[in-house]
Chain A
Amino acid sequence: MGDKLAEKDFARLDEVLADLGSSKGTLIPVLQKAQDIFGYLPRDVLVHISRKTGVPLSQVFGVVTFYAQFHLEPRGRNIIRSCQGTACHVRGAKGILQEIASCLGLEGDAVTTPDLRFTLETVACIGCCGLAPVLMVNDETHGRLVPDKIKGILDQYK
């Protein structure tokens, strides 16, 4: 997949590295920006960051796989975060998650639709418990969900 990565994206990454790379403790912000640029963190990008910053690749990989925010695989254009926090759990979050998966036709361990329109994730709590059960699509929060509402919400995102 690495061969499809655009030159201009690497140029943008180099700008980020020039901006942040020299000060201490910047590996995580660099990775966050790199993921904003590429959409995910392919191997070539990690190698590039490691070479430019001098942080060993093993350490970069260790950090990437430690935090839930970083992804080694391509992701959908729209990210759905279905909250499975306590409040959402007792108000039926499991049923919501099942409904989303069935609307998207996701089976087994699949989290991304083949057309890359959606990636479905769970999140432990988005701090919106008053409206449980809730989900986030990108930066928008939808609350007081019932399974019947799901399709209508997903249809808003192309």
Chain B
Amino acid sequence: MEKLARAHVLVCGGTGCSSSGSKLIIPALKEKLEARSMGSEVKVVETGCHGLCEMGPLVIVYPEGVFYVRVKPEDVDEIVENHLVKGRVVERLLYKEPATLDTVPSYDEISFYRKQKRYALANCGHINPESLEEYIGADGYEGLGKALSMKPEEVVEEIKASGLRGRGGGGFPTGLKWQFTRSAVNDKKYVICNADEGDPGAFMDRSVLEGDPHRVLEGMAICGYAVGSDEGYIYCRAEYPLAIKRLRNAIAQAEETGLLGRDILGSGFNFTIHIKEGAGAFVCGEETALMASIEGRRGMPRPRPPFPANSGLWGKPTNINNVETFANVPSIMRDGASYFASQGTETSKGTKVFALTGKINNTGLAEVPMGITMREIIYDIGGGIPDGKKFKAVQIGGPSGGCLPEQLLDLSIDYESLIKAGAMMGSGGLVVMDETTCMVDVARYFLNFTQDESCGKCTPCREGTKRMLEILNRICEGKGTEEDIPLLESLAKSIKAGSLCALGQTAPNPVLSTLNFFRDEYEAHIKEHRCPAGACTALVGYVITEACRGCGLCKKVCPVDAISGEVKSVHAIDQETCIKCGACQAKCPFKAINKG
């Protein structure tokens, strides 16, 4: 038996914190603790993502729950000497609220976490994702145990009663999907976990896979039991190497202990899970394309029906859900459907994980009850917009979604309300934009993405997105004409109507949504050849104002020698030569260079 430690130091090993240097902190901590002969008293644990990636690397010291942010390897000495030896909290490493600059000593009091309800993410950041014991210690595999003591139909009913809906974007009722697969008659059925998280701006699935892999395996096994399947696949993006590594490790542990494999927990139920690495195609997030890819073919969608529940992988009935959906299943089974159903709104039950990114103070992952307003997410949890800039819009739902402007900030978020507002839940990526973001450029950005990722099967999607992109490029360069807006709208209609899968059907949404709320920006580009946000390079120029002291820094940094002027006198930019890279503005110590 391992000796109980008097303190635990949790170091976030999620991708965000690892790339800001948490990998160096763990060995430094261990070394220092050994040097002070405290190696057995204090346990260092590498955890999954805590969600507050902006402030990484994060270090949390328990039992007190003291939350240190942006910790560097050189801070380790102080944490050990002052906190762990003398019991004094290291004030300078504590988190400060962006709005008030007050320091907050403990985890639970930070406004980023206070309004959250971490359900699917309950273990992320709190347990060691490479330890089966820690998952079981956090009530892991209890849901599977309970499910196996019930009849499969009862498990399906339980999921139906919870009101859980697909978290990958569509929002289809999960229990109903399971029932369809359950009722299909066949000797072989499959369960697939869609971990091909391709929406730019969404990374919740990655965090769950990296921070709590067993939860996903447990959810899949419960599903396998309910629908009558003995084999599962996880289709994971190859861009997520850490997630794949942790999943492999978790599968091996579960097989070794009899939580996966043959005769699970003595119930007679068999279930094995394989991992398939994706090969880099966004369209493979679409279920029929994903299955084609597992079968080793080009990942192109096919018409439905037949739905996967009747004819899926290798023609067999297949139940496919995404990572976050499966991550909700074990707790629903463990706690019963009624707890889950008591959260959220009438039609959208439970919690949803959102990825907060873009122009926002607290970037990271936040899990909140459905029905919360966008304002609460952006201002209370996200800490508002940095640098005193003004909020312009929030983009939700990735390349299939839309933008919500200021006047819709108090909208209660659920599947239906977002569709009504011309956006969609999607996978839950929220990209916040401020006054310096050009909405035409945002629409162009998404079109560029979908155009690139269109598989090419349906002509309206393949050709239509290309034409729309050309028009948007033209508008951003100031060469748009008045006919361009109606042309965009008509192309959008044809693409939506004439595409087989959701990629094409939703590809025009970012354009339609920005046209709906920010038509004036399109018109400014077209009629006045002006980009109101000052973001479209072809439409802006840089000018040096009277505030210039003639220090010459801009002249030095200009890559094309477009700036001239004598030392200590006001400089000037030759607009003909200028390539509008903005390097001079970034360098100017007197803020004397304006965009105009």
Interface residues of A (CB under 8 A from B): 24-29, 31-32, 55, 59, 62-63, 66-70, 84-87, 89-91, 95, 98, 123-132, 134, 139-144, 147
Contact assessment for A29 and B277 in the assembled complex, using a CB-CB cutoff below 8 Å: yes
A131 interface neighbour in B53, B279, B359, B581, Cβ under 8 Å: B53
Contact assessment for B281 and A87 in the assembled complex, using a CB-CB cutoff below 8 Å: no
Residues from 256 to 285 in B contacting A, C-beta threshold 8 Å: 276-282
Contact assessment for A123 and B239 in the assembled complex, using a CB-CB cutoff below 8 Å: yes
Would you call B105 an interface residue if the criterion is a C-beta within 8 Å of the partner chain's C-beta atoms? no
Residues from 289 to 306 in B contacting A, C-beta threshold 8 Å: 293-300
Chain B contacts for A63, CB-based, 8 A = 296-298
Chain A contacts for B355, CB-based, 8 A = 129
Contact assessment for A69 and B280 in the assembled complex, using a CB-CB cutoff below 8 Å: yes
Contact assessment for A66 and B298 in the assembled complex, using a CB-CB cutoff below 8 Å: yes
Contact assessment for A67 and B280 in the assembled complex, using a CB-CB cutoff below 8 Å: yes
Chain B contacts for A124, CB-based, 8 A = 198, 200, 282, 449, 452-453
Residues from 434 to 461 in B contacting A, C-beta threshold 8 Å: 437, 442, 445-446, 449, 452-453, 455
Stretch at the interface among B15-23, B339-347, B538-546: B15-23
Q: How far is the CB of A104 from chain B (nearest CB, A)?
A: 15
Contact assessment for A143 and B20 in the assembled complex, using a CB-CB cutoff below 8 Å: yes
Contact assessment for B296 and A87 in the assembled complex, using a CB-CB cutoff below 8 Å: no
Q: How far is the CA of A128 from the CA of B206 in the complex (A)?
A: 9
Residues A143 and B279 in contact in the complex (CB < 8 Å), given A63-B298, A127-B197, A130-B364: no
Would you call B310 an interface residue if the criterion is a C-beta within 8 Å of the partner chain's C-beta atoms? no
Would you call B499 an interface residue if the criterion is a C-beta within 8 Å of the partner chain's C-beta atoms? no
CB closest chain-B residue, reference A85: B200
Contact assessment for B398 and A86 in the assembled complex, using a CB-CB cutoff below 8 Å: yes
Q: How far is the CB of B566 from chain A (nearest CB, A)?
A: 27
Would you call B582 an interface residue if the criterion is a C-beta within 8 Å of the partner chain's C-beta atoms? yes
Contact mask for chain B residues 226-259; partner A; CB cutoff 8 A; 1 contact, 0 none: 0000000000001111000000000000000000
| Pairs of residues from A and B, 5 with the lowest C-beta to C-beta distance, nearest first | A130-B53, A68-B280, A87-B357, A141-B19, A85-B200
Contact assessment for B358 and A144 in the assembled complex, using a CB-CB cutoff below 8 Å: no
Chain A contacts for B442, CB-based, 8 A = 90
Would you call B45 an interface residue if the criterion is a C-beta within 8 Å of the partner chain's C-beta atoms? no
Contact assessment for B299 and A66 in the assembled complex, using a CB-CB cutoff below 8 Å: yes
Chain A contacts for B452, CB-based, 8 A = 124
Residues A143 and B200 in contact in the complex (CB < 8 Å), given A67-B279, A87-B431, A124-B449: no
B203 interface neighbour in A27, A29, A95, A129, Cβ under 8 Å: A129
Would you call B314 an interface residue if the criterion is a C-beta within 8 Å of the partner chain's C-beta atoms? yes
A-B contact pairs, 23 of them (CB 8 A): A25-B295, A59-B297, A63-B298, A67-B299, A85-B201, A86-B200, A86-B358, A90-B442, A95-B581, A124-B198, A124-B452, A125-B202, A127-B197, A128-B15, A129-B201, A129-B202, A129-B203, A129-B355, A131-B16, A131-B20, A131-B54, A141-B18, A142-B19
Other A-B pairs beyond A25-B314, A130-B56, 7, CB < 8 Å? A86-B357, A127-B239, A128-B53, A129-B363, A131-B53, A139-B241, A141-B19
Chain B contacts for A69, CB-based, 8 A = 238, 278-280
Q: How far is the CA of A70 from the CA of B581 in the complex (A)?
A: 33
Contact assessment for A129 and B357 in the assembled complex, using a CB-CB cutoff below 8 Å: yes
Contact assessment for A62 and B53 in the assembled complex, using a CB-CB cutoff below 8 Å: no
Would you call B429 an interface residue if the criterion is a C-beta within 8 Å of the partner chain's C-beta atoms? yes
Q: How far is the CA of A140 from the CA of B24 in the complex (A)?
A: 13
Contact assessment for B15 and A28 in the assembled complex, using a CB-CB cutoff below 8 Å: no
Q: How far is the CB of A33 from chain B (nearest CB, A)?
A: 11
Contact assessment for A28 and B279 in the assembled complex, using a CB-CB cutoff below 8 Å: yes
Contact assessment for B19 and A132 in the assembled complex, using a CB-CB cutoff below 8 Å: no
Contact assessment for B299 and A90 in the assembled complex, using a CB-CB cutoff below 8 Å: no
Would you call B433 an interface residue if the criterion is a C-beta within 8 Å of the partner chain's C-beta atoms? yes
Q: How far is the CA of A29 from the CA of B240 in the complex (A)?
A: 16
Q: How far is the CA of A67 from the CA of B295 in the complex (A)?
A: 14
Chain B contacts for A89, CB-based, 8 A = 200, 445
Q: How far is the CA of A58 from the CA of B447 in the complex (A)?
A: 30
Would you call B395 an interface residue if the criterion is a C-beta within 8 Å of the partner chain's C-beta atoms? yes
Q: How far is the CB of B287 from chain A (nearest CB, A)?
A: 16
